[in-house]
Amino acid sequence: MRFYSTNRRVPAVSLAEALLQGQAADRGLFLPERFP
């Protein structure tokens, strides 16, 4: 599953990358591309 920033200014990342970063580089929050 990929995660995107709510500001959509950075590319989508994997779950592991989202957990390690905590917050996107553009200061947005990570959300999954699709909800299961």
Residues 36 and 26: their CA atoms lie apart, in Å, by: 25
* pLDDT tens digits for range 1-36: 999 999 999 999 999 999 999 999 999 999 999 998
Range of the domain at 14: 2-32
> Residue 36's pLDDT is what?
82
Residue 17's Cβ-count burial label (10 Å; 0-12, 13-18, 19+) is: middle
Cβ atoms < 10 Å from Cβ of 15: 12
Residues 18 and 3: their CA atoms lie apart, in Å, by: 7
Number of domains in the chain: 1
The pTM of the full predicted model, rounded to 2 decimals, is 0.81
> Residue 14's pLDDT is what?
98
